Amino acid sequence: MWEKLAWDVDVFQDIQRSYPTEEQPLLYSAINVCISAWSLEQWTLAAWTQHLRDNGEAPSRQKFDQLVQTCVPEHPICSAIANTAKHAAYRDGGWPDGEVSLSWADGDEDVPPGFILYHLSPGGVSQALAFNTFGQVQSNWWLLLVLIGFAHGDQPSPKWMQNKLRRIFGEPDGLLPAAN
């Protein structure tokens, strides 16, 4: 599920960079990132609960939620958006009064014009680029998975990412085989 999250973050970031004037694909891919992050939470909770039970320990949802809150502080944004998409009504999911804002930026010599998606803190006091927020969600989930023993080492580049980079930078014969 972490690789699925990484995939959706990559798609969102590609759309933001390559097709900044495409409003719907940017928004749809943002929802997909959030659903993947929420799904990763559910999969991790189930595996973590089973792991503790297998080792004779009592799992605590409160302890798990605290781990997520501490290690992935951006996760409530994703949870709120995923739950809102699922239930067709806003559910804060730990991000009370949070908002999503799609704004047009005229661009400059460094950045082309286009839509930019922001996450606004309660009351709109501060904003973060969704591009950055989603990258942090991906990285922080990896760190949490390492912390609880479900992953090891530095954040990997999935095979699909390695193949993508090989297509961009060369070595077309060096593509990795598709996973079984």
Question: What pLDDT sits at residue 134?
Answer: 97
Question: What pLDDT sits at residue 72?
Answer: 97
- The structure's pTM equals 0.86
Q: Please return the burial class of 77, using the count of CB atoms within 10 Å of its CB with bins 0-12, 13-18 and 19+.
A: buried
Provide mean pLDDT across the span 62-77: 95
Of 55-59, 82-86, 152-156, which gets the smallest average pLDDT? 82-86
Q: Could you give the angle at which helices 61-71 and 130-147 cross, rounded to 10 degrees?
A: 130
Strand partners, 127: 120
Q: Which two tokens stand for residue 20?
A: 């900044």
Q: Given pLDDT bands bounded at 50, 70 and 90, which one contains residue 170?
A: confident
Domain ranges of the chain: 2-174
Q: How far from 133 is each of 35, 149, 169, CA to CA, in Å? A: 14, 24, 27
